[in-house]
Amino acid sequence: MFDWSQDPHRRFNPLTREWVLVSPHRTQRPWQGQMEKPAVETQPEYDPGCYLCPGNARAGGVRNPAYTSTFVFDNDFAALKRGTTPERFEESGLLVAESEPGTCRVVCFSPKHNLTIAGMEPAELRLVVDTWVDQYRSLGANPDIGYVQIFENRGAMMGASNPHPHCQIWASRTVPNEPAKEQASFVEWRQRKGTCLLCEYTKLEIAEGKRTLDANPHFVAVVPFWAVWPFETMVLARRHVGSLDQLSGEERDALADILKRTTARYDRLFEVSFPYSMGFHQRPTDGAAHDEWHMHLHFYPPLLRSATVRKFLVGYEMLATPQRDITPEAAAERLRAL
């Protein structure tokens, strides 16, 4: 008899149309790899050496204002630049390149250096959501911008340069790889079934309950059936909304609520300030309606079995297919209990 909770199998991700190998029996194997010490996480409310704290100077000399809630500025080391001239290069169909205009910004969530999403008040987080909406709208209104990616790197392990609560926004002319894969799947699903892939998936997860870890009237948090990272989660809008700017006031509050609750669960899992990369996937801003899009967030945390053992995508995963040991159902059960 095949046991889905124990025996090797692969699972299909309908959003990217890629597979993940699930090998639950491997959790039994001994670990003699690298052990990292959990970082000591006590930070002051204000750090005179932090380039994101109010009133401090940034690299390049600009000084931050004495801001009191959220604060947005153009990234001093922007990966994309406004006004980049259109250019295309092609040789033999093998060497293909295009110029890419865009804008990169940094959003400080709070003037307080020592906060995290989990520790912020719901009213403060609502202001962060409002800031994301404003940024999505204003950047997206630029005819040069076809896609707005909002993302947060949390913790040095995930490459965050600074513990001050902040995220980045990279707005580009083209739709980047990950949302482009999802978009193709939304379109294909809609043509084939006449429904929305993520509306159907959200309903199914709520009905089954095995992989849900939290919910409020407008959002659900799940460990997706096809999760790659050990405690990967998705936050799904219950209503068919394509982007942040389509959320009602009540839905914005609900988004703030589920973000706080989800990150608080992570922090309790291994009793550390849990590292992750998270970000929104939403409808492109290329001028088309994109009714096929269903807005959602992905959390990709690297910690595997404790604060000292982390997952890397190496070996088989780099060369063949991502793989996970604990099942998404077991991961959801643990997060739900916290």
The Cα 186–Cα 205 span in angstroms is: 18
Nearer to ligand H2U, 106 or 335 (CB): 106
Q: In the bound complex, what is the minimum distance in angstroms from residue 222's beta carbon to ligand H2U?
A: 25
Which partner in Zn ion, ligand H2U, none is near 77 (CB below 5 to 8 A by kind)? ligand H2U
Q: How many helices (H) and strands (E) does the chain have?
A: 6, 16
Nearest to ligand H2U by Cβ — which residue? 58
Q: In the bound complex, what is the minimum distance in angstroms from residue 117's beta carbon to ligand H2U?
A: 14
Nearer to ligand H2U, 106 or 228 (CB): 106
Bridge-based pairing state of the strands 323-324 and 18-22 = parallel
Q: Does 50 bind Zn ion (CB under 5 A)?
A: yes
Q: In the bound complex, what is the minimum distance in angstroms from residue 271's beta carbon to ligand H2U?
A: 23
Nearer to ligand H2U, 108 or 241 (CB): 108
Which partner in ligand H2U, Zn ion, none is near 50 (CB below 5 to 8 A by kind)? Zn ion
Residue 127, C-beta contacts closer than 8 angstroms, at least 6 positions apart: 69, 70
Whether 113 is a known active-site residue: answer no
The Cα 144–Cα 281 span in angstroms is: 19
The structure tokens listed for 335 are: 């997060």
The structure tokens listed for 16 are: 């990217």
Q: Which residues bind ligand H2U (CB under 6 A)?
A: 51, 58-59, 75-77, 106, 153, 160-162, 168
Place of tokens 């205009």: 101
Which partner in Zn ion, ligand H2U, none is near 291 (CB below 5 to 8 A by kind)? none
DSSP string of 105-158, one letter each residue: EEEES-S-TT--GGGS-HHHHHHHHHHHHHHHHHHHTSTT--EEEEEEEESGGG
Which partner in Zn ion, ligand H2U, none is near 53 (CB below 5 to 8 A by kind)? Zn ion
Which partner in ligand H2U, Zn ion, none is near 178 (CB below 5 to 8 A by kind)? none
The Cα 167–Cα 158 span in angstroms is: 13
Task: For the segment 98-137, give every residue that binds Zn ion (CB under 5 A).
Answer: 113
Q: In the bound complex, what is the minimum distance in angstroms from residue 103's beta carbon to ligand H2U?
A: 12
Nearest to Zn ion by Cβ — which residue? 50
Q: Which DSSP letter does residue 38 get? A: P
Selected catalytic residue, list 113, 164, 166, 294:
166
Q: How many CB atoms lie within 10 A of CB 145?
A: 22
Name the site residues for Zn ion (rule: CB under 5 A): 47, 50, 52-53, 113, 164
